[in-house]
Structure 1
Amino acid sequence: MPRLRIHGNDVHYLEYGDPGSPPLVVVHGLYGEASTMAPLAEQFGDKFRVIVPDALGHGLSAHPPAFGLEDQGRMLTGLIAALGYDAASLLGVSMGSYLSAQAAAQEPARISGLVLVVSKAHGRSSSMAAYAAREGFDLAAATPEETVGFMAGALWSPHTPQPEREEFLAAQLRLQQVVLTPQDRAAIDQSLRDFDLRPLLPAITAPTLVVSGRADGLNPPEAGEEVARGIPGARFEVYERSGHMLPVEEMDRLVTEVEGFLLS
């Protein structure tokens, strides 16, 4: 399992595709890890060298007691540099989109293309934490199975049948390598408290695609559209048959459109 030391933190990552292909860094969402992004990352392996890191505080990367979006952004651009690239494309999903936007604003020259999936520009907390607080659900005490079950109503489109949802959950549990502790989750939640990317978005120079799911109960299309409005020249798309789980619900469409966008 490859690992690099980036700005004082060990960063674990997975790789797919031909090393000679254009680089694409794929960034997972809240409480996720590189391994759980394998189904999506593998789809890009025919046309990209895909690098999927564990974000700080997640998976097999370092779990510092305190970190923020700025640290995550520096990790991503530092990883691109450490792998020998002048620049790479970034694709971030949910929380991964916040990290990717942060990186693209901090070091615009390092990012050649940017795709932000089910994103938002600001929040008092993570979208999951905000939803759980509204519903009185204790995320810190919940198992991964309990969390996914509770979040189902906010995550999925009504177009996605229950057997497909259960199949995805079972696959994710098989792929997961690290179970986060309550302390890990608390540090991650703190890193997203009162974040606001809006002042940074105009600094992004990479061609940018922002994609939202019509039925997303966490980051609705209005949130994605706000992100796109803040980035010069960004393109915005809504997937009508998706919720927050857009990369699963309409994976084929997403892969086709991302490849066309980044390779055009």
Structure 2
Amino acid sequence: MPLLHRERIGPAPFIAIDHAGRGELILLLHGIGGNKRNWIDNLEVFAEHFHVAAWDARGWGESDDYDGPLTFADMSADLCRVIDFLGHTRAHLVGLSMGGRVAMHFADNYPERVRSLVLCDTTQGPKGWTEERRLDFIRSRQEPLLNGLTPADIANDVARSLVSPNASAEALAKLVDSLGRLHKDSYLKAIETNVSDAVLADLTKIAAPTLVMVGEDDQLTPPDEAEEIARLIPTARLSILKGAGHLINIEAPDVFNRQVLEFLLETSRGV
């Protein structure tokens, strides 16, 4: 693997990234329960052909915490900082779950900075939810933490709810570790943010080449949501990975890496 570099990008809140390789830039964007460590097996493969960076979003991993609410606008602005710091004008965005929502928001607001999109196990948001359902969702997810539990206390149960029944012990262990590293306050903010913005982007206006991916056993953002995203984005193609749940890059890394790399190389060549 090309040499891995670690950076912290200011001004505050500082954003932590790991990056390696040369060529066009790929940014790997984790989900609400993740961090940049989730992508190490993917980053190694992609860095043989591209300049690849995995970030910790503000309030996750080795990035700074921050005052005020979490907003997708702030995270998109942070992405601009990362792209500029790494000396690029555009990037391929690979986003999982919340990271996919960040990528869609970014593509709608900064289309000139997007080379392509890979949207994994993600959703447009809680369209059609009543206010009662939204508040009930927030309460049910936040309550254990507000009652004194830590992210590590709930990590095992949450992890098992996200992966396929076919997930390996190694994949489950990686997810449990990831959830246990969450910043409690930022996670509480993220739970609310992720069901507060029903529509983040007009997908029909996205012109960048797009690959939409989902695990066939994903219960959190199931295949029918991926199918709708793929229908709305004019350039999109859809891939459903058999035997995988919500964390396809960890549960099925070989298939994930092969399909994403093929798509990115094809896009890079302008095919």
TM range (shorter): 0.7 to 0.9
1:74 paired residue number? 77
1:2 paired residue number? 7
1:15 paired residue number? 19
Structure 1's 115 and 194: CA in aligned 2 closer, same or farther, altered over 3 A? Answer: same
2:3 paired residue number? none
Q: Which amino acid aligns with 2:150?
A: T
Shift of residue 29, structure 1, vs aligned partner: 1.0
1:157 paired residue number? 164
Q: Secondary structure at the match of 1:195?
A: coil
| CA–CA separation in structure 2 for the residues paired with 1:64 and 1:76 | 16
Alignment root-mean-square deviation, CA: 2.8
Counterparts of residues 49-198 of structure 1 (less than 5 Å): 49-65=51-67, 66-123=69-126, 130=137, 133=140, 138-140=144-146, 141-161=148-168, 163-169=169-175, 172=178, 179-181=182-184, 183-197=185-199
| CA–CA separation in structure 2 for the residues paired with 1:206 and 1:262 | 12
Shift of residue 80, structure 1, vs aligned partner: 1.0
Structure 1's 164 and 3: CA in aligned 2 closer, same or farther, altered over 3 A? Answer: closer
Structure 1's 236 and 132: CA in aligned 2 closer, same or farther, altered over 3 A? Answer: farther
Structure 1's 121 and 158: CA in aligned 2 closer, same or farther, altered over 3 A? Answer: same
| CA–CA separation in structure 1 for the residues paired with 2:105 and 2:241 | 24
Tell me the alpha carbon deviations over residues 145-174 of structure 1, each in whole angstroms, 9 at most, x when there is no partner.
Answer: 43332124431212224x33454347648x
Tell me the alpha carbon deviations over residues 33-61 of structure 1, each in whole angstroms, 9 at most, x when there is no partner.
Answer: 22333232223221121111111221222
Unaligned stretches of 5+ residues in structure 1: none
Shift of residue 5, structure 1, vs aligned partner: 2.0
Structure 1's 35 and 158: CA in aligned 2 closer, same or farther, altered over 3 A? Answer: closer
Q: Secondary structure at the match of 2:10?
A: strand
What TM-score do the two structures reach when normalised by structure 2? 0.82
| CA–CA separation in structure 2 for the residues paired with 1:254 and 1:222 | 19
What TM-score do the two structures reach when normalised by structure 1? 0.84
Match of 2:228 among 221, 226, 231: 226
Shift of residue 67, structure 1, vs aligned partner: 2.8
Unaligned stretches of 5+ residues in structure 2: 1-5, 267-271
**Conserved? CA contact 2:160–2:172, under 8 Å:** no
1:236 equivalenced with 2:242 (yes/no): no
Structure 1's 69 and 81: CA in aligned 2 closer, same or farther, altered over 3 A? Answer: same
Number of aligned residues:
253
2:37 paired residue number? 35
Structure 1's 169 and 69: CA in aligned 2 closer, same or farther, altered over 3 A? Answer: closer
